[in-house]
Amino acid sequence: MEEDKKSKDWSPESSSHPSAYEADMHVVHRTFTSRLADSFRRDPNASVTRSASFSAADGKGYDAEAAAQATALSPLLRKLKGRHLQMIAIGGSIGTGLFVGSGKALAYGGPASLLLAFTLTGCMMYCTVQALGELAVLFPVAGSFASYSTRFLVSQAPVTLFHRPKSNSFQDPAWGFAMGWNYALNWLTVLPLEIVSASITVDYWVWVMPGGARYLINGEEQVQNIGLNAAWVSIFLVLIVLINFFGVKGYGEAEFVFSIVKVTAVIGYILLGVLINIMGGVDSAGRPNASYMGFRLWHHPGAFHNGFKGLCSTFVTAAFAFAGTELVGLAAAETENPRKALPTAIKQVFWRITLFYIVSLLIVGTLVPYDDPRLLNGKNSADAKASPFVISIQNAGVEVLPSVMNCVIMISVLSVGNSAIYGSSRTLAALAEQRQAPAFLAYIDRKGRPLYAIIIASVLGLLAYLAATHKQQDAFNWMLALSGLSSIFTWGSICLAHIRFRHAWILQGHTLDELAFRSPVGVIGSWIGLTFNILVLIAQFWTGFSPVGWQKMTVNQRIVDFFQAYLAAPLVVIMYVGYKLLMKTKVLKARDMDLFTGKREFNVRGLVEEERADRMWWPRWKKLYKFFC
């Protein structure tokens, strides 16, 4: 009875202990906070990285099989879906290289050189991405092409159809080491570079606003926007870092949205450009008129400018504009079904090259003369005042759309910055898993985030605060120099790895029917891509040493311009030669390649044959559509 009385008299207010509801809420609260804390703890599967070793001093040599297993078994989460890959492929590299950099290329080479350079570079990129797709579908490993450079350009114990290479065999990861760090440094410098660019795009509205504060530097009028730039740097940096801390799904969703905006803008500009060309353009003095344009500007002032050197200069700009295309292959390790999603995404490159680059630049070349002084007024690759897209809209007398295009340029810059943290962090983690970088960078938490690599990339983003100083332009130029030729080396290495892989695949008794995805351009396409990349390196050396208008430059200006144009090349050579001399590595033979470790699916031949048999019954229109899409 007394117990019943006590139970009746009990109330939340009279109890010194929490009620059942309060206790449950405490558990819920504790569970949420503990889950948040646990998400940053190391994934237990990440212990596979401890098996890889590259120390020559231990007398064991480079354990390539362990390194390959480390990248293949990386605990990165496979959260990317087909729609993410498709939008990354379509709009991933659409950025300032197209929207703004094309203006400088137009001024140096003329509309015909601009179109020719982007078309040939696009053909090279199509071949390169197809080769990457074939490798990434078969080996969707962390680090992708950096790992392929190590794997297919190394020396190891003999391999046969029934014999895997033994561990601790001496190998040559020197080129993979150089390519991995080259790619990582590229993105590490691109992050502050793009944040600086994003803050500079804000200056566009300061210029167009009446009464904007300005000051003089070396006799040139500049925007007084230093404090505002620092504020925008903070906003952009925090936004990009937060997106990447949401993991690969956050990156995928952000790029999905960014790419939709960029693709919509380019399609809208193409339609607008056609209307402007038909209904009215500009006269020889740059004044708007209402006459049909056609290809009038190809006749006066002309289709080409500065001859062959002008054409070579546009090749360099085209290569910069296509940078980031290879991220599709890097994302393969975090894709749910790379064998199904990756080939479809790879084929989207055709449409991006055709529609977004070739068609849009063809229209630009008919609306903006190459001698328009505004094309060279921009001091960097994100200056909307020098964008031929913006200039062509201004010439048509449309007042609102230039600001809209500047917003698109800003979104493009943020998209590249977002990709910078993703690309650098995944590459650093893969290098660490192969023991080609400090081991702590291989730390991957339970949400699949390479945590320390993301932190390192984010911290280097603080260099963007140089935008809040009067050395803004110098900082921009030298960061751009570090990343200038990086993509050329990356693309050439992809093509070379594919050539070596195909040779070893046939030599070791395999057939092409065993490949889940086969590059439609094959080895010939990879040879074309490799050759073209070498030619671009030669052209860049020539235009860097003797740029257009070098007669008017001082010796010091020419030296600075050369190093800003070619700085990435000596860095790659130093990393490769230094590693090779230190590790005393050897060159790989095709018969010795390991074609087993890290394959996502070993028995795909039957599945592929079923799919090919099913395609035999497709109507012709569907076969044509699936070939391109």
Per-residue pLDDT band for 627 (boundaries 50, 70, 90) equals low
Find the range with the poorest average confidence among 127-131, 439-443, 483-487, 624-628.
624-628
Q: Does 145 or 421 have the greater pLDDT score?
A: 421
pLDDT of residue 218: 42
pLDDT of residue 47: 47
Q: Is 326 a residue whose pLDDT tops 70?
A: yes
Q: Is 592 a residue whose pLDDT tops 80?
A: no
CATH number at residue 490: 1.20.1740.10
Size (the chain), residues: 629
pLDDT of residue 19: 45
Does this model's pTM top 0.85? My answer is: no
Q: Are 129 and 349 spatial neighbours (Cβ–Cβ below 8 Å)? A: yes
Q: Does 153 or 435 have the greater pLDDT score?
A: 435
- b/e per residue, 88-119, with b = 16+ CB within 10 A? bbbbbbbbbbbbbbbbbbbbbbbbbbbbbbbb
Residue span of the structural domain in which 391 resides = 44-628
* CB neighbourhood size of 8 (10 A): 8
Per-residue pLDDT band for 376 (boundaries 50, 70, 90) equals confident
Q: Is 169 a residue whose pLDDT tops 50?
A: no
Q: Are 615 and 623 spatial neighbours (Cβ–Cβ below 8 Å)? A: yes
Find the range with the poorest average confidence among 414-428, 453-467, 468-482.
468-482
Q: Does 437 or 482 have the greater pLDDT score?
A: 437
Q: Taking all residues of the chain, what is their mean pLDDT, rounded to a whole number?
A: 75
pLDDT of residue 529: 93
Distances (CA, A) of 474 to 193, 196, 205: 11, 12, 22
Is residue 34 in some structural domain?
no
Is residue 21 in some structural domain?
no
Mean pLDDT of 60-75: 56
pLDDT of residue 377: 66
Is residue 33 in some structural domain?
no
Is residue 362 in some structural domain?
yes
Q: Does 403 or 471 have the greater pLDDT score?
A: 403
Residue-wise pLDDT for 237-296, tens only, equals 899 999 888 887 888 888 888 888 888 888 999 999 998 888 765 554 555 566 778 888
Residue-wise pLDDT for 24-41, tens only, equals 544 445 566 776 666 667
Closest CA to 410 of 392, 375, 384, 434: 384
Q: Which residues pair with 160 in a beta bridge?
A: 163
Q: Is 95 a residue whose pLDDT tops 70?
A: yes
Q: Is 209 a residue whose pLDDT tops 60?
A: no
pLDDT of residue 441: 87
pLDDT of residue 534: 92
Helices (H) and strands (E) in the chain, counts: 26, 2
What is the domain count for the chain?
1
Find the range with the poorest average confidence among 1-15, 353-367, 515-529.
1-15
Question: Residue 40, SS3?
Answer: coil
Is residue 16 in some structural domain?
no
Is residue 474 in some structural domain?
yes
pLDDT of residue 485: 80
DSSP state of 371: T
Is residue 453 in some structural domain?
yes
Q: Are 100 and 386 spatial neighbours (Cβ–Cβ below 8 Å)? A: yes
Q: Are 79 and 318 spatial neighbours (Cβ–Cβ below 8 Å)? A: no
Q: How far apart are CA 263 and CA 244, in angstroms?
A: 22
Q: Is 148 a residue whose pLDDT tops 70?
A: yes
Is residue 24 in some structural domain?
no
**How large is the C-alpha radius of gyration of the chain?**
27
Q: Is 368 a residue whose pLDDT tops 70?
A: yes
Q: Does 561 or 431 have the greater pLDDT score?
A: 431
DSSP state of 222: E
Per-residue pLDDT band for 599 (boundaries 50, 70, 90) equals low
Q: Does 191 or 92 have the greater pLDDT score?
A: 191
pLDDT of residue 21: 45
The structure tokens 């230190």 sit at 582
Q: How far apart are CA 192 and CA 477, in angstroms?
A: 12
Q: Does 266 or 173 have the greater pLDDT score?
A: 266
pLDDT of residue 456: 92
